[in-house]
Amino acid sequence: MEALEARVASMADLFEEEKMKNEARLMKERQDRMRGEEQVKQLQAELGEQRRIAERVVIENRRSVEEEEFEQLREQHAREKRRLENDLDRERESVAALKATLSQQSTAHLTMESTHSALRNQITALTTDLDTHKARIAALEAELVDTKRSNAHLENELREAESLRRKLHNEVQELRGNIRVFARVRPSVRNDSVNAVAQGGAAADGTAALASIRYPNEREANQIEILAAGESATGTATMSKHIFTFDRVFQPSASQADVFEEVAHLTQSVLDGYNTSIFAYGQTGSGKTHTLEGPADCFLTGDDPASHQGAGLIPRAVQMLWGTAEALKDKGWKYDFEGQMLEIYLDGINDLLGRESFDKAKHEIKHDKTRTVITDAVVVPLVSPQQVFALLEKAKKRRQVAATLMNERSSRSHSVFILRVRGQNATTMECCDAVLNLVDLAGSERLSNSGSASDPQRLKEAQSINKSLSSLADVIAALGQNKASAHIPYRNSTLTWLLKNSLGGNSKTLMLLALSPMAAHQSESLCSLRFATKVNATHIGTAKRMLKVDG
């Protein structure tokens, strides 16, 4: 508004200066006209005087001057007269031009006066508007102060509500158990009939026979029952019921979204500062990788694999973490992400993000109270979900796979996706540092069922897999003793040593048991269910929040 006032003042000065210049020009033109009129009068007087002189000369010399001289005088007089008349005509034209210019200048002066008056009125109106705007600005500034004070109060309430939400969320997770077990039975697929025939589990018509699986408590969806054929002590054929209870049981009709809905609250704990681990367990072909990743082409469907209907836990969790982190910016939180993708093959670590297709480096696993470090392993800073999906697709292509009787392309290794999350709150000065481990365990089937006994390399792989899974069972059993002095055999395998912080009390852990619906796989399913029951009965203590306040 000050710039507008300065501009109006400048325009008023310009109009005043132009008015003075016009008045000076008009005064000068009037003076020039008066001088012209005086010159005309003077010329007329001189002309009259010359006429009188000429007449006197003529009278005095009329008789004595010869005719020739008289004619010469007449001609000279005529020439002088013509000259004076011409001068008079020019002066008259000049006076007429000056009069016309004066008339135009008078009109322009009136126009300027009118414009000046209009501008003065405009200046008055603008000044009034300026005063109104100043009053409005003062009112808005006062309102802004009140709004800022109210926003500060609301932000404090929001931060307190967020802290309360984190606390209650953690309490809910603790009530559910820091080791939780979900069981999921996959639907039957087209290749099941081929595999069933190869393993002698086909029905009389050559189709795949389904196991007798029931879900007794569908309301709470936490039980699964398997009817298995057996013999009594007298050799009589009997049917045995095996009922298992877990935190959640998913039937074959359950979608990927249904599974993630139950896991999402656990994933949220990572942003709240808690180490969180999810590992899929089960025999080869039971749907572990599908549950974690989704269809084979999931990461090739564009920028957002999580939008794929069959997207697994990993793309959905990654998308949720980034979306929630973005939403928490309004509450003062800023998060940084970094990731690793490892494979445990033949009890050795293969860095799936390294330069070579198979990592030959010797990696060591080092633990401290809050985190696990794998030496010489690539750690990639992550700025978007799309970057995570690209890394997962790269790692997926480099995993060691081989054909077995259990599945066309069965993973012969454990894969571990490690997502580290660091958060800072500039308002509350809080910091958190937590890790999300997503573990796809290799198939848990016995050698006779996998067809590995006849192939030395496959036999070596299967023995290594079963040894690591057996070590996992030993660790869980030791943790279940709840004895402070009990030895926990983490070092018995690379898998359990890597997952030490995921099992030993500083983490919230979910075991997702994948089960095949086929009758041919019933014995393997029962073994997996019994193992999962041991895990479900294990108490690992209260998860600790990796949170501190900068001082």
Q: What is the token pair recorded at 73?
A: 């005088």
CA gap 229, 526 in Å, rounded: 12
Three-class SS state of 536:
helix
Q: Residue 107 in 3-state DSSP? A: helix
205-238 as b/e: b if 16+ CB within 10 A: eeebbbbebeeeeeeebbbbebebeeeeeeeeee
DSSP state of 186: P
> Using an 8 Å Cβ cutoff, are 319 and 310 in contact?
no
Helix axes 385-398, 313-327, angle to 10 degrees: 160
pLDDT value at residue 393: 85
DSSP code, position 64: T
Beta-bridged to residue 382, according to DSSP, are 337
Alpha carbons within 13 angstroms on the beta-carbon side of residue 472 total: 28
Task: Scan for tokens 């200048």, then name that residue.
Answer: 105
- Secondary structure class of 339 (helix, strand, coil): strand
Q: Which is higher by pLDDT, 456 or 383?
A: 383
Mean per-residue pLDDT, 216-228: 89
Collapse the DSSP code of 540 into the 3-class scheme (helix H, G, I; strand E, B; otherwise coil) and give the result.
coil
pLDDT tens-digit series, residues 159-175: 666 556 555 545 554 54
The residue among 18 and 195 whose pLDDT is bigger is 18
Pair 159, 332: CB distance under 8 Å: yes
Q: Is 285 annotated as a binding residue?
A: yes
pLDDT of residue 357: 64
Rounded mean pLDDT of the chain?
81
What DSSP state is assigned to residue 273?
A: T
Query: 243 or 501: whose pLDDT is higher?
Result: 243
Polymer length in residues for the chain: 551
How many angstroms from the chain centroid is the CA of residue 242?
48
pLDDT at 202: 52
Is 124 within any annotated ligand binding site?
no
Residue 551: what residue type?
G
- Residue 343 pairs in a beta bridge with 350, 415
Q: Which pLDDT score, from 0 to 100, does residue 220 have?
A: 85
Rounded to an integer, what distance in angstroms lies between the CA atom of residue 235 and that of residue 249? 34
Summarize pLDDT for 285-309 with one digit per residue, the tens: 899 989 998 887 766 555 566 677 7
Tell me 308's DSSP state: S
State the residue for tokens 């002698």.
200
pLDDT given at position 214: 93
Partners of 411 in beta bridges = 401
Is there a binding annotation on residue 28?
no
What's the one-letter identity of residue 461? Answer: E
Nearest to 250 by CA among 515, 49, 37: 515
**pLDDT confidence band for 463 (50 / 70 / 90):** confident
Q: Are 19 and 112 in contact (CB under 8 A)?
A: yes
288 is in an annotated binding site: yes
In angstroms, what CA-CA distances link 476 with 179, 471, 511? 10, 9, 12
Beta bridge partners of 396: none
3-state secondary structure 377-428: CCCEEECCHHHHHHHHHHHHHHCCEECCCCCCCEECCEEEEEEEEEEEECCC
> Does the structure show a pLDDT above 90 at 322?
yes
The residue assigned the tokens 């969806």 is 221
147 assigned binding-site residue = no
User: Residue 10 and residue 130: Cα distance in Å, rounded?
Assistant: 17
457 in a known ligand binding site: no
Q: SS3 for 350?
A: strand
pLDDT band at 68 (very low <50, low <70, confident <90, very high): confident
Q: What is the pLDDT of residue 420?
A: 93
What string of DSSP letters covers 483-507?
A: -TT----GGGSHHHHHTHHHHSSSE
Q: 200 vs 483, which has greater pLDDT?
A: 483
Report which of 286, 353, 294 is spatially closest to residue 318, judged by C-alpha positions: 294
Residue 38, pLDDT > 60, answer: yes
Whether pLDDT at 544 is above 80: no
- As a whole-number percent, the residues of the chain with pLDDT over 90 amount to 26
Q: Are strands 372-374 and 380-382 parallel, antiparallel or unpaired?
A: unpaired
pLDDT in tens, 489-537: 999 999 999 988 777 655 788 899 999 999 988 989 999 999 898 888 7
- CA nearest 446: which of 428, 434, 459, 427? 459
Structure tokens at 283: 């025999």
Any known ligand binding at 286? yes
- Please choose, from the candidates 470, 340, 346, the residue with its C-alpha nearest in 3D space to the C-alpha of residue 414: 346
Helix H or strand E encompassing 465: helix 456-479
Q: Please list, in sequence order, all residues whose beta carbon lies within 8 angstroms of the beta carbon of residue 437, skipping any fewer than 6 positions away.
A: 275, 276, 277, 278, 279, 416, 417, 418, 419, 499, 502, 507
Candidate from 237-246, 350-359, 509-518 with smallest mean pLDDT: 350-359
Known binding residue 287? Answer is yes
Return the pLDDT at 147. Answer: 87
3-state DSSP of 204-245: CCCCECECEEECCCCCCCCEEEEEEEEECCCCCEEEEEEEEE
> In order of start, what are the domains of the chain with their CATH numbers?
2-153 (1.10.287), 177-549 (3.40.850.10)
| C-alpha distances in Å from residue 500, one per residue of 245, 270, 495 | 26, 17, 9
Please give the DSSP secondary-structure letter assigned to residue 330: G
pLDDT digits (tens, 9 = 90+) for 414-444: 999 999 999 999 888 889 888 899 999 988 7
Q: What is the mean pLDDT of residues 360-375?
A: 84
- Measured between its terminal Cα atoms, the distance across the chain in Å is 46
- Give the tens place of pLDDT for each residue, 75-105: 888 899 899 989 999 999 999 999 898 888 8
Residue 251 has pLDDT above 90, yes or no: yes
